[in-house]
A = this chain, B = another copy of it.
Amino acid sequence: MEKHKIAIIVGSHRKESVNRKVAQAMRTIAGDRLDCSIVEIGNLALFNQDIEADPPAEWTRFKQAIAAADGILFVTPEYNRSIPGALKNAIDVGSRPYGQSAWERKPAAIVTASPGGIGGFGANHQLRQACVFLDMPVMQQPEAYLGHVTDKSFGEDGSLTDPGLAKLVGSIAKAFADWVGLIKSGRAALARDSAHIG
């Protein structure tokens, strides 16, 4: 079975980010069905419409990496009950110029992890609101508000040692692989039907 090519965007660029560790764990767990690469966002200049016609090289490289993916996996902390500025900036960079968004029609999943109990609920749903405008069909279930995630949730090799969390991350990875496949197959069927009608 063909693997889906997934671009992972990690919302924190702290070196020891637990969200980065979750992303790495998901990459390993889903390895037989998803071909995941983390696309970095820490080097993207702040979006400014004045320079979008002559964009920095990093903006172009970022957009190409997004455009090449079959699906997008966001793994992010919540900052101040909202999306981290760096992640929102990456979304803005990838969405412009008008009519040339790299995000369009990419199936997506949103995982939010935090040390507290709320698991990034606020960031998760604010990001979902952006995905409506960006025309990205986002997986609904399982919801992925990962609470109580700390350095202690992982072993020294970065693997998930918290068994409950490992199970949840595994079910998210499987459901996301299904979701990307569903959207792809569904679109192919729709295109066939339209051709028949024509």
A167 within 8 A of B: no
Number of copies: 4
The contact of A46 among B89, B118, B125, by CB within 8 Å, is B89
User: By the criterion CB–CB under 8 Å, are A14 and B81 in contact?
Assistant: no
Task: Tell me the complex Cα distance, A193–B2, Å.
Answer: 12
A181 within 8 A of B: yes
Interface stretch, picked from A21-29, A131-139, A157-165, is A131-139
Interface band, chain A: 35 or more
Closest Cβ of chain B: how far from A94's Cβ, in Å?
9
Chain B residues contacting A95 (CB-CB under 8 Å) are 79-80
User: By the criterion CB–CB under 8 Å, are A118 and B145 in contact?
Assistant: yes
The 9 A-B pairs at the shortest CB distance, nearest first, are namely A85-B89, A186-B186, A185-B189, A182-B186, A85-B88, A117-B117, A135-B141, A81-B133, A46-B86
* B-binding residues in A (CB < 8 A): 1, 12-15, 42, 44, 46-50, 79-93, 95, 117-119, 121-122, 125-138, 140-141, 143, 145, 147-148, 178, 181-187, 189-190, 193, 197
